[in-house]
Amino acid sequence: MAQITLNKLNKTYGAVEVIHDIDLKIADKEFVVFVGPSGCGKSTTLRMIAGLEEVSDGELWIGEDMVNDVPSKDRDIAMVFQNYALYPHMTVYKNMAFGLALRKAKESEIDAKVREAARILDIEHLLNRKPKALSGGQRQRVALGRAMVRNPEVFLLDEPLSNLDAKLRGTMRAEITKLHKRLDATFVYVTHDQVEAMTMADRIVVMRDGHILQVDTPQELYDRPVDMFVASFIGAPQMNMLPATLRHTETGFAAEFDGRLMPLPVQDNPARLASFGDRGVILGIRPEDMHEAPPPGLPSEQLAAIHGTVDLAEPLGSEKHLNLSAGGVQIVARVSARCPAVTGAPIDLTVDMRHVHLFDPDTEQSILYGRDS
Amino acid sequence: MNPVFQGVLAIAVAVAGCGAYFYLSNLFLDRVLYPPTGRDPGRNVNRANAIRPWLFLAPAILFLALYLGYPVIETLRLSVTDRVPGGFVWAGFDNYAQMSRESKFWEAFRNNLLWLIVVPAVSTALGLLVAQLTDRISWGNVAKSLIFMPMAISFVGASVIFKLIYDYRPASQEQIGVLNAVWLQFDGGLASVLVLRVVPGLLLAGFIAAAAWLIWAMLEPVLLGRRKQGALSILLRAALSLGALFLIWRAVTSIIGLALVDLPYGQPQTWLTIPFWNNFFLMVVLIWIQTGFAMVLLSAALRGIPDETVEAAIVDGAGPFQIFFRIKVPQIAGTIAVVWTTITVTVLKVFDIVYAMTNGQWETQVLANYMYDKLFRSNDWGVGSAAAIVIMLLVTPILVWNIYNARREMR
């Protein structure tokens, strides 16, 4: 059992606090991805779990043990580094065997484990080479292999794919996911790439400025972001943020933008929404929720219209991205490739209001899905 | 004329001369020899550019040939000739034969070997130790500057300093030499035994262990037959093992001697006249100077090791010693080789220290000083030149290896 628990975990460098009392429970065999912009503290958190950074305050538990003062080697973890961190003077075989040899494992056992890992990662033919003679992808496999041979309960991966080219990154992403299924261990993965986070994670931890903003499954994170930062960090192109005013109507609530009323989805907590009555709010609309024509089968109460001018139309083959100005703001819409819109032309878009978001402009918290505060 | 003024004048003239040479020679090339005009200006420019590097190389080539190349050939000639009134006669290898019959030559040869083993090893080891220990402490840079400082002192200057440290005054007078002052503090009690017998004994035991490990490392692959070894490799390994075995033998006898020797407590010593050990007192001077050199290069190399490899080793379960010896040292092996061989070459040429401190008396002779003795005191150009050739033959392979390593490091 290797669940990881962070309890009011805190990291300070001198007087500067970089991780602020974060709490997190990572279940046994879970694949958790830490994501956030650079400097958000995700790598520092990982390094604390690895034992490469001291915990300044709070508790760090791995399995049944509090490991604040347990040296790295006794934590039953393995780590894969961004720059692979292979030992340049050792062959691939020795690189992978090093950890086991330090633990005084039998030579036959080391050999069996190294060859098994090499077979799984398809690097058997490279065992006698030095890291210098390997390509980036091969080095990454060796780094994974070095972590695998020790059979640790926890794998820590620090942006392992960021030095690979885009195509290889896609392949390795799938392989790491498969490896997780196969190895049956807890994976903690740090990345700044939201695609990696979305595709690989059981749960995603979004961090900013040393705080955890939201911990959720990828879909939940996409559908119900708790604040404007999470909403715009996840999803590409970014969610559109429109300044609007909240209005009470006979049928419920609506957001007024560019002089039009846009009906808001039915709320399970209308009182909360009512408290924002006639106030400025931020209306968040994902680009794919805007359509060039009303989607069939939706009642008109769930639709709204936006009128704008196309500044730029980017055809991508499978779809088209329209950059338009409407009501004084820039909006990106993802429409079908057959949409006839051309640059400079006025356009009317239909918004699917079932999936919109509403944010408090002062606190940036989500009004619809926010934490109950 | 005031000598200071002469010096300044010499510098000014030399610098101006260099500037004038480069300016005027290029001017001549571009304006007179191949001007970019006429029927085919493009070809002229290409020709001028093909010649230009040689303009810059020419002075260096000239002076190297004049002051390094020619003397080698001339020394070779002198070493196979004998001076007679009004000229010279062919002597063949007589000079070499005569030299090999002189015990003083073999003494110098043996001492040089001793220097060769001790000084590079100790300087590199100390330099590595200092580089590692000063790497992560706040006052590390101050410590490094202090250790580097002796590099700025000439060998003769350093010798004078150490001559004062080893200085002798009769027991009735105040000692001005630090070593004798310390020595007189020992009275044969427990502390004396500890410092003068137990500690050196342990150091020697450590040396024996290291040498034994070397033998094992050399012979293990051959004995266990894990990998096919070439005949040359086996020969080299056997030779190195025999050398290490000899060193172990010397160390064991030294330990026994250390235990049995009757130390003259309370009497100031003339350190530089104690045969065999006085060699080490001389070596200390060079080690004192070269440690700084080793430290600077090794410290830079240690800094160049990627942090991630060290962190990966920490996660892999390596302790501080394993990280140092199995992760860090192998990664800077190239630099260590360069440092080691550079110091080795310096050691083979060592002259000033011996000349200034003992002048080869009391069995401290080394080859360079032996050569000087023959050439300028005995006026025996034949044997002196033969000694010079021997030194050159010893230095050359190490130098070649050194340059090979240094070039590989730069890639």
- Tell me if B312 and A79 make a contact (CB, 8 A cut-off): yes
> Looking at the structure, do residues A298 and A187 belong to the same domain, yes or no?
no
Instruction: Name the domain boundary from A211, A230, A249.
Output: A230
3 state DSSP class of A249: strand
> Looking at the structure, do residues A326 and A281 belong to the same domain, yes or no?
yes
What are the CA-CA distances from residue A354 to residues A226, A299, A301, B362 (Å)? 17, 11, 10, 101
Q: What distance in Å separates the CA atoms of residue A33 and residue A50, rounded to the nearest whole number?
A: 15
Distance of residue B246 Cα from the nearest chain A Cα, in angstroms: 31
| Residue partners of A256: CB distance under 8 A and separation at least 6 | A244, A245, A246, A247, A262
3-state SS of B101-140 is CCHHHHHHHHHHHHHHHHHHHHHHHHHHHHHHHCCCCCCH
Q: What rounded mean pLDDT belongs to chain A?
A: 86
| Model confidence band, residue A1 (pLDDT cutoffs 50, 70, 90) | low
Q: Is residue A371 part of a domain?
A: no
- Burial (CB count <10 Å: 0-12, 13-18, 19+), residue B297: buried
- Tell me if A88 and B333 make a contact (CB, 8 A cut-off): no
> Looking at the structure, do residues A214 and A261 belong to the same domain, yes or no?
no
DSSP state of A366: B
> Looking at the structure, do residues A251 and A186 belong to the same domain, yes or no?
no
Instruction: Write the residue in A73, A84, A88 that is nearest to B317 by C-beta.
Output: A73
> Looking at the structure, do residues A212 and A243 belong to the same domain, yes or no?
no
Q: Is residue A369 part of a domain?
A: no
> Looking at the structure, do residues A287 and A224 belong to the same domain, yes or no?
no
CA-wise closest residue to A253 among B67, B53, B174, A244 = A244
CA-wise closest residue to B304 among B409, B161, B218 = B409
Check which CATH number belongs to the domain holding A160 and give it: 3.40.50.300
The structure tokens listed for A170 are 């896609």
- Determine the distance from the C-alpha atom of residue B291 to the mean position of all C-alpha atoms in its chain, rounded to a whole number: 11
Q: What is the pLDDT of residue B64?
A: 92
- On chain B, the residues whose CB falls within 8 A of the CB of A102 are 316-318, 322
Q: Is residue A40 part of a domain?
A: yes
Ranking A199-213, A348-362, B268-282 by mean pLDDT, the lowest is B268-282
Bridge partner list, A330: A325
> Looking at the structure, do residues A218 and A237 belong to the same domain, yes or no?
no
What are the CA-CA distances from residue B191 to residues B188, B199, B254, B336 (Å)? 8, 11, 20, 37
Overall average pLDDT of the B277-305 stretch: 88
Is the minimum CB–CB distance between B331 and chain A shorter than 8 Å?
A: yes
Q: What is the pLDDT of residue A298?
A: 80
Q: Where are the domains of chain B?
A: 3-79, 100-184+271-410, 190-265
- Determine the distance from the C-alpha atom of residue B280 to the mean position of all C-alpha atoms in its chain, rounded to a whole number: 14
Ranking A237-246, A350-359, B262-271 by mean pLDDT, the lowest is B262-271
Task: State how many domains chain A has.
Answer: 2
> Looking at the structure, do residues A149 and A293 belong to the same domain, yes or no?
no
Residue B227 has pLDDT above 70, yes or no: no
> Looking at the structure, do residues A200 and A336 belong to the same domain, yes or no?
no
Overall average pLDDT of the A235-258 stretch: 84
Q: Pick from B227, B311, B316 the residue to mutate for testing the A interface (most A CBs within 10 Å).
A: B316
Q: Is residue A370 part of a domain?
A: no
- On chain A, the residues whose CB falls within 8 A of the CB of B138 are none
What are the CA-CA distances from residue A371 to residues A224, A225, A284 (Å)? 11, 10, 17
Is the minimum CB–CB distance between B323 and chain A shorter than 8 Å?
A: no
Distance of residue B324 Cα from the nearest chain A Cα, in angstroms: 13
Residue A373 has pLDDT above 60, yes or no: no
Give phi and psi for B91, each to the nearest 5: -125, -5
Q: Which amino acid is at B158?
A: A
With CA atoms as reference, the chain A residue closest to B332 would be A89
Q: What distance in Å separates the CA atoms of residue B191 and residue B198, rounded to the nearest whole number?
A: 10
Overall average pLDDT of the A150-155 stretch: 88
Instruction: Write the residue in B306, B311, B333 that is nearest to A52 by C-beta.
Output: B311
Strands of the A290-291 sheet, one edge to the other: A290-291, A346-352, A303-315, A319-326, A329-336
CA-wise closest residue to A51 among A69, A65, A38, A34 = A69
- On chain A, the residues whose CB falls within 8 A of the CB of B333 are 89
pTM for the model: 0.75
- On chain A, the residues whose CB falls within 8 A of the CB of B336 are none
3 state DSSP class of A309: strand
Q: What is the pLDDT of residue B15?
A: 94
pLDDT per residue over B363-384, tens digit each?
Answer: 788 888 888 888 888 877 888 8
- Determine the distance from the C-alpha atom of residue A172 to the mean position of all C-alpha atoms in its chain, rounded to a whole number: 17
In terms of pLDDT, which residue wins out, A78 or B175? A78
Residue B9 has pLDDT above 90, yes or no: yes
Distance of residue B227 Cα from the nearest chain A Cα, in angstroms: 14
ipTM of model over 0.90: no
Q: What distance in Å separates the CA atoms of residue A120 and residue A289, rounded to the nearest whole number?
A: 42
Q: B100-184+271-410: what fold?
A: MetI-like fold (1.10.3720)
pLDDT per residue over B342-359, tens digit each?
Answer: 888 888 878 888 888 887
Percent helix, strand, coil in chain A, to 5, is 30, 35, 35
Ranking A91-100, A184-193, B37-46 by mean pLDDT, the lowest is B37-46
Q: Which domain holds residue A342?
A: 233-359
> Looking at the structure, do residues A136 and A223 belong to the same domain, yes or no?
yes
Q: Is residue A43 part of a domain?
A: yes
- Tell me if B322 and A51 make a contact (CB, 8 A cut-off): no
